[in-house]
Structure 1
């Protein structure tokens, strides 16, 4: 690598960024929240990533030399790694220069499956790779997971070539290998810094463009450009968006990264973030719905902000925000007629549009289908059988024995008190969500108690099936419907199935979709699966939010990507501004 490439990042170029909720840590085997993923994505590189400007999202190589060679009707992937990629120097390597090899990826993939870690990202490889499930089963049985055990599905042809043998055709594997938890970690780093559970949450070491240099938990994170990074040249083509031409003119041919330092602050309150941006203490941040009226009118930047050079990048997030009820809870769970009726009534009583109008100030679109717009498999014509209907909700509760006590509150059919606990983040947004759901429950005469928690605590309890109800947003890890339908697969309980829902019928159909490419046959199964969800009602579909990113005039080349968590590698800072 030439010195000019390695030294492209300018330490004087500082990007000040903000998180709207606290991170949990930076081990890709454990972290799966959006904010932690910002950091891990910048440090521990996956084999693949996405073209910065292409829409819809387009898979491209990152550490891989090319896109995978797919043979055997989608069951065999051959992947070649670029040579000469090195981990950031660290004491774990005993002063030696440590090259990235395919063995590091095999180690990282197998580590996601270690039962001791309880990784919420194990679903990425669960059931996919020949011999891997057997290794996991043996580890569970013996109590000792043999990470060096042979897995026939991971065939190392040489240090730079990996052939993956799948249990069934899988046309999404390339996107799985682009997802942040698939990034490479070095075994030496894990063995030197792991905690009692085997995790390395506070000492990430990777091959990426940035290094973690400071971390004050849920308050401040500082990343600095990796001086030994191999460097890339900014070379993307303009798409249909007129802004692309301007970005290409600003960035084409530059060595990246350009920005030498990323300073991240955690600010829970909307007003604090807005004031910090107004005072130019923040360069780039997400304008959540409650702040939209301060900066937007009709989806466009207010003239006074545009006159100051403030920039807006606006997309509909490839997400679903759903309201789920814990299917393992003694009150909200179960499949008896009265339990389904309770969930159906609660779902019908909630006015999603009111959420959008009040909490998000219109900055979201209501969803009818569990696969959101912009994702392969979305059906814009689908109409859910669960709609807002307050009289029908009350009638349903009356019919199935949810009688009212002397105070006017409904009881369970056996006469015991009926109370729903709704959990939300401990910020102004979470308070608003709780208030609107309190109004919903009041309208059907059900007591609700609000449960306010810090975001990391919510995630922890959720993975243990300990929350009774929550509004749960899921942003696409990869742009395919599988990423959203897997949220209800029973094997993903304690990972991504946060409502802890189990349906043998749904599972059977989901497993059939795993063997099909995107297309009408798979779409038909998705429709059947959606109807099952509506019958069982483990959740109520909510909305997909607009993501409005505001950037100061000095930020160059920024465009919000629908899949990448952050775009720091691809942008620049104009120091003159």
Structure 2
């Protein structure tokens, strides 16, 4: 482990330290949050993104109808652009929402110099965009799973290259008047409010903005959110600034009575106008060391998820290091509502399919990956082994569950491969396919230090099983695009829950979401039937039993090897106040304060 002096010297060599020639003062003091994403954004059109980094940006630019209470634990919903909680009827099939009048979009030339009010029709239009085949939304399966009456049929009529008809009214999505929105669903959806509260995906866009900019829309993400885009250098830097058109909205929340931290935050900030800061500067820094250095030297005043390589330096023995504490640095450590997984292309001729020998290969690979060692060596203990594709903090998560998903058993893995014909026939030390042809696994991997560390461990694990593997290196956006198109054999990805209901994690297994959330391209009718039933049932014992059966099927077929759930440690310098890590939602920048500094410093 390098000393802090060595790290700072390295930072100077990398050009990360502030320039000595920078002006000491600037005319205007600003409250600026500065930090880094470790993976580049892919865009800022909510319909076309589903990675966590892009969705963090869109969550602050656009607004859904509802939002999560920032301090409530467990999670609680609050009206955002809606005037009140929804009116629900017809056994959770009809949901009526009334908007708050007077909410304005950020100014844009598309509005001809006039203020543009948010109206119900904007949500109708924005949600219809997910159904437009030409947009190829990776989130269409998620939207379609709620079965808004007439939406899938409208999409079907536009298949084959025809223009999507945005003007045709449908029963499931209607503006009853200027401020009243009604949703009609084919099946009961008791938790439909979770759909309405995903601001990063379900935020409203104005039709005239979309039509003005076309394919350039990601460069003009005009919403009603607390921030607007000021600067965007793709995969390098994003700057958001306070939306001057943002309505009068103040800090308020309902933390639990016994939540001392939440109560203290409420007492400090209640009644403050939002957003409390003027500007957010996000850099894209993929490598761990420069990201850590940028925080150490004050170039960034916040670091999300301290890189595993530096956790021991930041929190030796689990306590904040004295040199950081003396600077006023604050630390937060939480078990995240996430999971990291390896997944297989179920349409691939080698690892895909549902025949016994293909299932045996996937399960053997899963049993042969030493996840405990990965957590110790690469993640420095900042994770716990996962036993099911259910995120912590969601309703069906069972911390005591133990399944094959979380087991490391290379002897059993080798036995499975032998039993189903994946044997070394020519004596060269590598297994062949059951038909005797050569076997080489192709694993897609990012071009960064952390991925290289992981590849070394995975190479050793698979070599010990007699499995030859090659790594296909690429940038994250390229690999994501290939995965959505099914042009891969194996990859690994992280997933974070967007709602307190555990069903969200099972989207990755839903056959209707292939090409979107279901990147493994897994299709089993028995699982799809369970998924549909989970959507319609209210919470209770019957639904709990279905979750258990769904987990059993995910372990048996192994389209995904879920590896771990992460512990995440965030740090902030003294000028940052009010931070609390959200459980499921992405929007929080407007809920923190930063001591003012001269602009440009």
Change (3 A) 1:298 1:74: farther
Matches of 2:456 and 2:587, distance apart in 1: 32
Matches of 1:418 and 1:11, distance apart in 2: 62
The residue number in structure 1 matching 2:354 is: 335
Q: Deviations over 1:182-208 (max 9, x none)?
A: 00011001101012xxx7222100111
Match of 2:103 among 85, 104, 111: 85
Aligned pairs (5 A) from 1:90-489: 90-127=108-145, 128-140=147-159, 143-179=162-198, 180-195=200-215, 200-239=217-256, 240-286=258-304, 287-386=306-405, 387-404=407-424, 405-489=426-510
SS at match of 1:223: strand
Q: Does 1:528 align with 2:546?
A: no
Question: Is residue 124–residue 174 contact of structure 2 (8 Å, CA) maintained in 1?
Answer: no
Question: Is residue 48–residue 136 contact of structure 2 (8 Å, CA) maintained in 1?
Answer: yes
Structure 1 stretches lacking a partner, 5+ long:
1-9
Shift of 1:576: 7.3
SS at match of 2:149: coil
| Higher alpha-carbon deviation: 164-173 or 132-141 | 132-141
Normalising by structure 1, report the TM-score: 0.95
SS at match of 2:264: helix
Shift of 1:551: 0.7
Matches of 1:380 and 1:433, distance apart in 2: 25
SS at match of 2:158: helix
| Higher alpha-carbon deviation: 532-541 or 225-234 | 532-541
Moved over 4 A (4+): none
Matches of 2:105 and 2:76, distance apart in 1: 26
SS at match of 1:354: helix
Shift of 1:175: 0.9
| Higher alpha-carbon deviation: 410-419 or 123-132 | 123-132
SS at match of 2:155: helix
SS at match of 2:159: helix
Question: Is residue 424–residue 433 contact of structure 1 (8 Å, CA) maintained in 2?
Answer: no
| Higher alpha-carbon deviation: 128-137 or 244-253 | 244-253
Matches of 2:521 and 2:57, distance apart in 1: 28
Question: Is residue 248–residue 273 contact of structure 2 (8 Å, CA) maintained in 1?
Answer: yes
Matches of 1:558 and 1:541, distance apart in 2: 29
Matches of 1:229 and 1:292, distance apart in 2: 38
The residue number in structure 2 matching 1:7 is: none
Cα RMSD for the two superposed structures? 1.6
SS at match of 2:283: strand
| Higher alpha-carbon deviation: 58-67 or 232-241 | 232-241
SS at match of 1:277: helix
Shift of 1:528: 1.2
Question: Is residue 324–residue 540 contact of structure 1 (8 Å, CA) maintained in 2?
Answer: yes
| Higher alpha-carbon deviation: 535-544 or 376-385 | 376-385
The residue number in structure 2 matching 1:19 is: 37
Matches of 2:597 and 2:467, distance apart in 1: 59
Q: How many residues align?
A: 565
| Higher alpha-carbon deviation: 482-491 or 285-294 | 285-294
Matches of 2:328 and 2:255, distance apart in 1: 22
Shift of 1:165: 0.8
Question: Is residue 345–residue 351 contact of structure 2 (8 Å, CA) maintained in 1?
Answer: yes
Matches of 1:504 and 1:472, distance apart in 2: 25
Matches of 1:507 and 1:490, distance apart in 2: 6
Question: Is residue 356–residue 364 contact of structure 1 (8 Å, CA) maintained in 2?
Answer: yes
Matches of 2:517 and 2:597, distance apart in 1: 45
Matches of 2:224 and 2:587, distance apart in 1: 17
Question: Is residue 43–residue 207 contact of structure 1 (8 Å, CA) maintained in 2?
Answer: yes
Matches of 1:315 and 1:11, distance apart in 2: 33
Shift of 1:11: 6.2
Question: Is residue 371–residue 378 contact of structure 1 (8 Å, CA) maintained in 2?
Answer: yes
Question: Is residue 377–residue 518 contact of structure 1 (8 Å, CA) maintained in 2?
Answer: no
Question: Is residue 170–residue 516 contact of structure 1 (8 Å, CA) maintained in 2?
Answer: yes
Matches of 1:561 and 1:142, distance apart in 2: 41
Question: Is residue 11–residue 259 contact of structure 1 (8 Å, CA) maintained in 2?
Answer: no
Normalising by structure 2, report the TM-score: 0.91
Matches of 1:214 and 1:468, distance apart in 2: 37
Matches of 1:172 and 1:356, distance apart in 2: 34
The residue number in structure 1 matching 2:24 is: none
Change (3 A) 1:345 1:428: same
SS at match of 1:290: helix
Shift of 1:284: 1.2
| Higher alpha-carbon deviation: 100-109 or 236-245 | 236-245
Change (3 A) 1:11 1:201: farther
The residue number in structure 2 matching 1:3 is: none
Matches of 1:416 and 1:372, distance apart in 2: 39
